[in-house]
Structure formats: C-alpha cells, structure tokens
Structure 1
Amino acid sequence: MTTITRNGPRIGVLVPYTNCNIEPDMQLLCPPGATIHCARMGGYDVDEIPGSDQMAGLGSSDISEPLMLLSGVRPHAILYGCTSATLTHGPAFDADLSERIKSGSGALSLTAAGSLVAAIQALGAARVGFASPYLGEINDQAMRFLSGQGIETVKCHDVGRPLGNYGQGELTPDEVFELALQADHPDAQAIVLSCTDMRSVECITRVEAALGKPVVTSNQAMMFCLMRALDLPRHDDAPGRLFDLL
C-alpha cells in the first residue's frame, strides 16, 4: 500500500454543488504533503442557465453551514471556488466575502476572482485576452471587474452559445484550448481562462506553447496565491509560467 505524506497544509475549498472539475484540478495542483478538503454550496437553480442574476445570487447566498462544516478540518486556507459569483458583484464585494470567510474560519481566505487579479498582476500584465464559458453579460461584468483593478481586456471570447450549469464543465480540454486561442490579441500580455468548472488547467502548457504567452486560469490562480502566501515551493505538477514566480 502506498503511504501518502500528509504533513503539509490542509486546504479547504467551497465548491458550487454542480461543479465537477475544481476538485480534480485541485488534486492535480496540490503541493506535496498538502491535503484537499471540500464542502459544497448551493444558492442557485441547477436547471437555469447561469446568467448574471443566478451567479450574483450564489455570491450573496448564505454559506455559513458549508463554512462551518469545512472549518471542522481546521484548514490552513479556504478557497472560494466560484469566479463569476463575485465577478458579478465587483471587487469590493469580493474582498468583503474573503474577509467574512477568514473571520468565520480563522483560515487564510482566497477567492477565485481575487486570485485571478493577483496572478495577472504578479505576471506584470496590464492587458489580457479573456475567455470563458459565461453568458455575455457576465463577461461584461468580468471585464469591468478587471478594469477596476487596472487590467484592460483587449479581446474577450466565449463559446458562442449558452451553457447550463453542467455544460460549462463538459467542455473538453481541446475545446478550451481552441477557446484560448480565439482570445489572443497582439496586445494581450497574458491569456485569462475564467471559470473554476472549465477544464483549463489541463491545457495551460499547450496554450502557452502555442501562443508564447503566460496563461492564468481560475483554479491555477487560487493555488498560486495560496502557495505564495504559505511560502510553498513550486512542484513538478504546477503548470504554467505563473508558478515560475514562486
């Protein structure tokens, strides 16, 4: 039987209850010795197309119970695993939610949206290409969110059709790769792939090789910010130029 070292940080993740990809991504990105612990949160209708109102509702929903249950493992950090839930409210809401999670758990708290911004800024990028599986209205809010943090979106690209709560996670890595290529622009200094349920982590290396530019994804950005905050070194399974900054 293989023995797994478990002497690293315990990482808690708050996961939208239909999200099928953040947990596999976190396992792929997890630093040696660290462990991943997840709690699911609701606050939205699985049968509705996830538009701005639904994602804003998720962001403002009561997370006290999943946060309490997740706090039972005494996590060193808690990641809020939905990007659009706070993109739809703006940077001030995102920062406040992070503080509320920290106050309720005593752990380092990082959101997906806040981590995207921090990762882009760590790369020194001021102009980005942006791709997502979101409806257009959420993309507009995402661009305003980034603009408020001094980041200009020089091109935005989406899948061109409304996707349900499961459809976003069903995009293949090949489809995400093509989505990323369509978001490129001569002025873009980095490519941003937003959504914790999109299979972006698996194509980071491929996109960077094709475009010669760094890629930032929601789940990768959260893990980067966590590793930087906890002073953890890069490991072999951490993909992308972003992790070269550790």
Structure 2
Amino acid sequence: MSSVSSVSSLPNAAVADDRALPFQRYNRPELLRIGLVLLDTDYTLERDWHRLVGDDMELFCTRMPTHAEVTPEALKALEAGITPAAATLVPGLPLHTLAFGCTSGGLLIGDVAIAERLHAVRPEVAVTHPWLAIRAALEALEARRIAVLTPYVREVDDAFLAAFSAQDIEVAAIGGFRLDHDPDIPAVDPACLGDALATLLEGAGPVDAVVLPCTNLRALDVLDELEQRFGVPCVSSNQALYWHARWIAGRPTCQAGFGRLLSGV
C-alpha cells in the first residue's frame, strides 16, 4: 500500500467551493507603458532597461526567434518575425510606445518597414527602434562628426557608414570586434571598450560624439566613464532606445549615471 494518502481519504477534507467570491477591481494606475520586441539571442537589452525603468513606467517584453547570425542577410530576414512577436505583447492592454530591439536589423530593414510591421498590431502606438533612436539622439546632442565602435563584421559596418553619410553625419572612424554570432557579443567585457575606442580614435581627430551600436553590447554601465575619458557624449543603443521610447510618448526622462543623453543633454 502506498504511504501517500489521497486528499479524498483524509477525514474532514475540504472540497472546492463553487461560489464566485466577491472582489474589488484593481484600479490600474496610468503609468507609461512600453512594449519591447527583442531577439531571442539578446542577453543585454532587457537587463539594461530594467535598470533604467522607474516607478512611472511599466515594461512589457516579448522575444522573436532568430538564427543568431549577425550578417546583412540574416538581419534583413528578421522583418518577417516582427509582427508575430509584437502580437504577443499584452493583448487588450494599451501601450504608449512599441519598440523593436535590434540596431543593425533596424538599419537594414528600414524605418518604414519596421513601422508597418509594428503598426500591423498596434496602429495607434508610437514606434521606434535603436537605429532611429540613435539618429534622434545625435540630433539632440548636435553631433555632426562621430566615431562608431561596433561589434559587427565589416559588411554591417559598411552599411552603418553609408547610412550615417546619407544623414550628413561625418564618420571620422568606424570599426570593432568583427563578431558574426549574436551570443558572442555580450561576452565582450565592458571594461575593454575604452581601450578599443582609444585605438579606433588614433589619428581620427576631434569628434562630437561616440556611438556604440548593438543592443547586445554591454555598454550602458561604462557610458559615464567613457564620456569622462574622451570628453564627448557616448551614445549606446540601449540608452538611446530608452530615451527615444519615452520621448516620443511625451514622457522624457532625466537620469544620472548613464551618459549625457539620459541626464538631460
């Protein structure tokens, strides 16, 4: 005989009460609500944003499947997954902003296509992505000559170089770690970004700002340190995306410790 007795065999065992017990409906506060579509291989963006989110905001995240490749072809192919992923975000709950979380993907897919994919689910919501946010950040910082430190392969860097040039932003230097596998990118120690940037800037001349694209690059924690070392604003994807997502919702932020952009420009 089993040593474990069933509930029904216990003396005076309770049974489920069929009554619907009364309750008071929760009065949900009118907080800023942002939805974020991440790649399944992104280990950094969500953590960074949770460090930035204050009591005035709710963050809702979902993830889309990828092949983990950081190549132009693989990044363009992300477009098809944006709408299905966005459709899983808190159905029935209004959002103020909806963001797609991939910098190089946003660049190669394009503003219009990303907006269409997100608006297919939430036509009334303001939308953004890191490439759009970086451009808005550089405009707010009045930066026209920049250096760009990336984790990407050469083909993706070339796409950034062409895109910045099309925006009349001069790129004094661009280069990086030449990684083509997304999970390898968060393995880059933030402590090495300063020395890598110093190498990249050798002979480049003065710049107005430094850009560190890629939501998987662990740059947020060292932005203040980099700004002190190099004397110019440093813009990361996760910092700029958070700043822009709030700004387009009409809820700008001012936070110290994460670079000049978030401290009020």
List per-residue Cα deviations over 1:116-147 (Å, max 9, x = no partner).
11111111111100011010100000111111
1:131-146 correspondence to structure 2 within 5 Å: 131-146=149-164
Q: What displacement does 1:237 show?
A: 5.1
Q: Which of residues 59, 64, 67 is equivalent to 1:45?
A: 67
Q: What residue is the counterpart of 2:97 in the other structure? A: 77
Q: What residue is the counterpart of 2:56 in the other structure? A: 33
Amino acid at match of 2:184: G
* Alignment of 1:13 onto 2:36: yes
SS in 2 for 1:182: helix
List per-residue Cα deviations over 1:171-216 (Å, max 9, x = no partner).
1211233333334332311000000010011110010010010011
TM-score normalised by length of structure 2: 0.81
When you count helix as a share of all residues, which structure comes out higher?
1
- 8 Å CA contact 2:255, 2:263 repeated in 1: no
* Alignment of 1:24 onto 2:47: yes
Instruction: Name the stretch that deviates more: 169-178 or 143-152.
Output: 169-178
- State percent identity of aligned pairs: 24
Q: What displacement does 1:170 show?
A: 1.4
- 8 Å CA contact 1:29, 1:237 repeated in 2: no
Q: What residue is the counterpart of 2:184 in the other structure? A: 167
Q: What residue is the counterpart of 2:248 in the other structure? A: 229
Q: Which of residues 229, 241, 244 is equivalent to 2:260?
A: 241
Q: What displacement does 1:52 show?
A: 1.4
Distance in 1, Cα, partners of 2:255 & 2:133: 21
- 8 Å CA contact 1:183, 1:191 repeated in 2: no
Q: What residue is the counterpart of 2:142 in the other structure? A: 124
Instruction: Name the stretch that deviates more: 96-105 or 12-21.
Output: 96-105
Structure 1 residues without counterparts, runs of 5 or longer: none
Distance in 1, Cα, partners of 2:114 & 2:183: 25
- 8 Å CA contact 1:98, 1:111 repeated in 2: no
Distance in 2, Cα, partners of 1:186 & 1:213: 13
Larger-gyration structure (1/2): 2
Q: What residue is the counterpart of 2:106 in the other structure? A: 86
- 8 Å CA contact 1:88, 1:142 repeated in 2: no
Distance in 2, Cα, partners of 1:45 & 1:124: 37
Amino acid at match of 2:67: D
* Alignment of 1:189 onto 2:189: no
Q: 1:8 to 1:183 in 2, by over 3 A?
A: farther
Distance in 2, Cα, partners of 1:32 & 1:180: 35
- 8 Å CA contact 1:83, 1:111 repeated in 2: yes
SS in 1 for 2:95: coil
Q: What residue is the counterpart of 2:119 in the other structure? A: 102
Q: What residue is the counterpart of 1:154 in the other structure? A: 172
List per-residue Cα deviations over 1:11-51 (Å, max 9, x = no partner).
11110111010001111122432121111012x323xx421
Q: What displacement does 1:99 show?
A: 4.2
Q: What displacement does 1:219 show?
A: 1.0
Q: How many residues align?
A: 234
Structure 2 residues without counterparts, runs of 5 or longer: 1-27
